[in-house]
Structure 1
């Protein structure tokens, strides 16, 4: 009697159906985010690039000029001056922010009865908008009724009330102090999350082996916080490169146009001189610079295993 062979058919269709349903559910979950990114980033970005190829006045019909706006940029001395100042400001404020935020993060990491109070107090200025903080600083720096110049005069540090906005040095230092006061709490929280993510067992093992505090910080803390530092650094550099409110409100680009940032110049060309096409070209170049800087930072701070 011949043997009967039984074959089992693989239920491919039901399995494929389940996979497709899972894919559909995943697409439904990401659809709102994709829609928001498309409406508020992709479409405006495409429109900005299209405008940058035109002579686009506020009134009248736009005229296609190709790369004319980008060619004009090469001869715009104020643009290059504002870009140099923005890079200089970014370097200074980033270094100062990390120099202040890292010790604060280490200080508030330790469990203490006052830790929550310190964390809240340091973070609270970040809640204030840059516009409001700048207006507050304008009052504090006022030569007649402000706190700073009057306090320095009454303490005998100056012979008379000093106008802090009269020179580039005092204006720049005052704005740096304001930015650090406002944003250091945010950087502190980011670095604090990185510190809390380091296992205490690793630190204890290094302490038992005789490693000093500086050796533990250099050999353990910093390497394990590469990703956190990269995040804080990218956010700090990007925010500083886009600085506008504090310079527009506090110094209005002065004295003698020495504190005009790149975004300030884009705003001036777009909404004061009504050269919308040229302002769009400047925006595209600034975007390219920010993307390049972010990629370089990620590569420099990448872990040996990859981020």
Structure 2
């Protein structure tokens, strides 16, 4: 009978462990390569339609780049010109005012709509969900054109009905008043976007276990306490997503103001993106428009990071 040799056993065990580790590593690599192949089309699309244009925009921002003609390198001059661009700062201020007003209105209306249709057992819930969400299917451009037609002083249906019903003596020309123009845009955006945010909030509401509400009700928690201590904390991440999308969309507003108000009256409803469009394509200053775009991107990134930071939980998690 052979004598037990610990050294030989240890060598065999090390070789076996190395073989198993190598086999596991190969399998992990194979799964990793397979996963990479699955996301490769997405990476290609992102690289082609986001990363590449972003790099080109950053590169153009250092040039005097006319719409027609030869580009000339001017370094940081485009960014220095932004400091003295009073129209841009006025447009940026108006954009922030618009975002501050429209964001809570969208959130409140969407939350009310989601609360009304969250119970699948109520009759007509599926119908009203479809009705609430339907405007989301329409593009911003098409929705803006439709609202401009409805409010047209000569052919608009709403103006015609208002005069016919005696609500006002003559057709309302909303383009002549800043308040009227701003109200029309606010109403259109609420009608257009509330349904999408309703879906996000509805998913968050339905994800909360009903037993939690029943237990709180048994303990004597009122509706306000259930909202404060159950609904709001458990929907924090849903609120974060909804808030970031709403604020980002508001700061990038363009179609509704370009089509409905055309920046009027007296250029009071020009947004920052509208100003970028004017410089790039109306005035032919592509390099300056690129610099404005980079500044706009930086502002969006800072605001998004601040929103995530403020809405993090006590452990610092998003």
**Would you say 1:62 and 2:54 are equivalent positions?**
no
In the TM superposition, what whole-angstrom CA distance separates every residue of 1:95-130 from its partner, at most 9, and x where no partner exists?
111121111100000231200000000000110111
Structure 2 counterpart SS, 1:258: coil
| Equivalent residue in structure 2 for 1:93, among 102, 110, 120 | 102
| Equivalent residue in structure 1 for 2:263, among 253, 277, 286 | 253
In the TM superposition, what whole-angstrom CA distance separates every residue of 1:50-87 from its partner, at most 9, and x where no partner exists?
00000011222211111100000111111011101111
Counterpart-to-counterpart distance in 2, 1:251 and 1:15: 63
Q: Is the 8 A contact 1:149 1:163 kept in 2?
A: no
Counterpart-to-counterpart distance in 1, 2:48 and 2:156: 44
Range that drifts further, 208-217 or 114-123: 208-217
Offset at residue 148 of structure 1 (A): 2.7
TM-score with structure 1 length normalisation?
0.96
Name 2:36's counterpart in structure 1.
27
Name 1:3's counterpart in structure 2.
3
Match runs of 1:92-171 below 5 Å = 92-111=101-120, 112-171=122-181
Offset at residue 149 of structure 1 (A): 2.8
TM-score with structure 2 length normalisation?
0.93
Q: Which runs of 5+ in 1 are unaligned?
A: none
Range that drifts further, 19-28 or 39-48: 19-28
Match runs of 1:204-219 below 5 Å = 204-219=214-229
Counterpart-to-counterpart distance in 1, 2:80 and 2:170: 49
After superposition, the CA RMSD in angstroms is 1.3
Which structure has the greater CA radius of gyration? 2
In the TM superposition, what whole-angstrom CA distance separates every residue of 1:188-242 from its partner, at most 9, and x where no partner exists?
1100000001110100000111111111111110111000010011111111111
Offset at residue 295 of structure 1 (A): 0.6
Range that drifts further, 215-224 or 23-32: 23-32
Counterpart-to-counterpart distance in 2, 1:123 and 1:246: 19
Q: Which runs of 5+ in 2 are unaligned?
A: none
Q: Is the 8 A contact 1:149 1:164 kept in 2?
A: no
Structure 2 counterpart SS, 1:60: coil
Name 1:282's counterpart in structure 2.
292
| Equivalent residue in structure 2 for 1:16, among 11, 15, 25 | 25
Offset at residue 2 of structure 1 (A): 6.3
In the TM superposition, what whole-angstrom CA distance separates every residue of 1:127-180 from its partner, at most 9, and x where no partner exists?
011111111111111112213333333333323222122100000001100010
Name 1:293's counterpart in structure 2.
303
Counterpart-to-counterpart distance in 2, 1:91 and 1:32: 37
Offset at residue 302 of structure 1 (A): 1.3
